[in-house]
Structure 1
């Protein structure tokens, strides 16, 4: 799984060099934000079901009939929530490792093609994830820095799906 540390080490190794000062500053910055990322990961892990349900509610508020084909509304919502939980898990993993590797490897690669084959627009997921991004509040939900880390990964995923 890619993280700031593995990325820096791999780049230095590929260049047959030691990590540069800027490489080390990047790692240091990641380590300094680690406590905030762990706070966000812990809070998300403890509330993923409620968070996913908020995203599904936002999706079905914008798309009342959903976008699944040949499925009843209940099945559509269940599958939608399953997918949102999957994306939240990837965000959680990314918070833990301090990089976008889990999202890149397991969430973005091929997702468009899968949704296209199922006749589901990624805009539905973007709507739900965007609602989660705009809903978060510091200090009610997370500390300011933890919210920055969480929202940064939500934005990364949203931009990847857009």
Structure 2
């Protein structure tokens, strides 16, 4: 739930106007909006590079994994899933909240990967690799904005 939705829901539940702290938080959210959109654009424009470089890094760390067997179907599925997570992270950045990751990226993901017999340790390591290559292409300030979303995703996938 975004800061705006959360603030309004809290005030409405308590049958009151937004307080000064809530209004300031919303103002800060809006003022940071251009920056969040710029970061999301960087990730979107570099998705292919992030996926390719992240996968290469992952395969060096975990060479014995289904996505590295030469099976094009496994590789395509792996890359598709990685792109899906990068996209969810861009959504979270834009709204300034973990909700897109929480609702779509975490719930049920463990069961799905386990049912496909994909070790969660591999999925977690792959997300770490994607995080590393993503943060390498960003300024320190932008990386500080993006890192917590990857961290939330990684923590949520841990076995």
Tell me which interval the TM-score lies in, with the shorter structure as reference length. Answer: 0.7 to 0.9
Structure 1 residue ranges, 4+ long, deviating more than 4 angstroms after superposition:
none
Distance 1:44 1:26, change over 3 A: same
Aligned counterpart in structure 1 of residue 121 of structure 2, from 114, 123, 139:
123
Q: Which runs of 5+ in 2 are unaligned?
A: none
**Residue number in structure 2 paired with 1:113:** 111
CA contact (8 A) 2:127 2:150 kept: yes
- Matched residue, 2:89: 91
Map of 1:160 onto structure 2: 156
Is 1:148 paired with 2:147?
Answer: no
1:53-83 Cα offsets, whole Å, 9 max, x none, are 2222222222212147xx8633222111110
**Superposition TM-score, scaled by structure 2 size:** 0.85
Moved more, 57-66 or 25-34: 25-34
Q: Residue 30 and residue 122 in structure 1: after superposition, are their counterparts in 2 closer, same or farther (change >3 A)?
A: farther
- Deviation larger for 59-68 or 49-58: 59-68
Q: How many residues align?
A: 156
Write the distance in 1 (CA, Å) between the matches of 2:70 and 2:50.
Answer: 23
Asked if 1:58 is matched to 2:54, the reply is: no
Aligned pair in 2 of structure 1 residues 8, 122: CA closer, same or farther (>3 Å)?
Answer: farther
Structure 1, gaps ≥5 residues long: none
Residues 120 and 28 (structure 1), Cα distance of their counterparts in 2 relative to 1, 3 Å cut: same
Question: Tell me, what secondary structure is at the counterpart of 1:17?
Answer: coil
Q: Is the 8 A contact 1:67 1:121 kept in 2?
A: no
Tell me how far 1:47 sits from its aligned partner.
1.1
Q: CA RMSD in A?
A: 2.1
Distance 1:79 1:13 in 2: 44
